[in-house]
Amino acid sequence: MAQATIGISAAAIVASTGTPAFRLGTIGGYDDPTNGYQEFVYGRANGAVTGAGYACVEATGFDFALVSTTSTAPGASGFGSRVGVAQAALADNEYGWFQIYGKGSLRTLASAAKGTRLNSTATGGALDDDGTASSEAINGIVLGTATGGAEATNTDAILSYPTVGVTL
């Protein structure tokens, strides 16, 4: 387990005109009574983040943009880039927490299966298991329960320091 600031409020955000509550890149931990130990990285939204549970890729120095086949492509924030899951909706340049470890919620497309490799999609912030050519594998995130027949935020995702993987 990494050294973390304990007792953070993961859903707290700071407006783009405000002073960040923490230093960018700070790792925060929280021992949730239901989900167990979770870790988050403090960053800034690079473009609007639609809501809690949306996957984001670290575009540059703790700036997080919605995961998509464009934002995770080689030459952008490609192979090896950190992925975190937003804990709140963020406007462009607002500050907030992105989950990187533990059980949490993740936005997926329809019918994403339990225990399969997830990948980036054309839908910003939503992952899927479809294996579409030219999408990128997202390593370190797995679903504990399948997502039903419509795009949804699955509350049974397990994160283990996710990163962008190979192009499919």
Q: Domain map of the chain by residue range?
A: 5-167
Is residue 41 packed enough to be buried (19+ CB in 10 Å), middle (13-18) or exposed (0-12)? buried
- Residue pair 55/14 in contact by the 8 Å Cβ criterion: no
The pLDDT tens digits for 114-165 are 999 999 999 999 999 998 999 999 999 999 999 988 999 998 999 999 999 9
Alpha-carbon separation of residue 74 from 31, 46, 84 (angstroms): 35, 18, 18
pLDDT (tens digit per residue) in 62-121: 999 999 999 999 888 889 999 999 999 999 999 999 999 999 999 999 999 999 999 999
Interior angle at CA 28, CA 24 and CA 30, nearest 5: 155
Least Cα distance to 56 among 47, 46, 66 occurs for: 66
pTM score, two decimals?
0.93
| Matching residue, tokens 């919605």 | 66
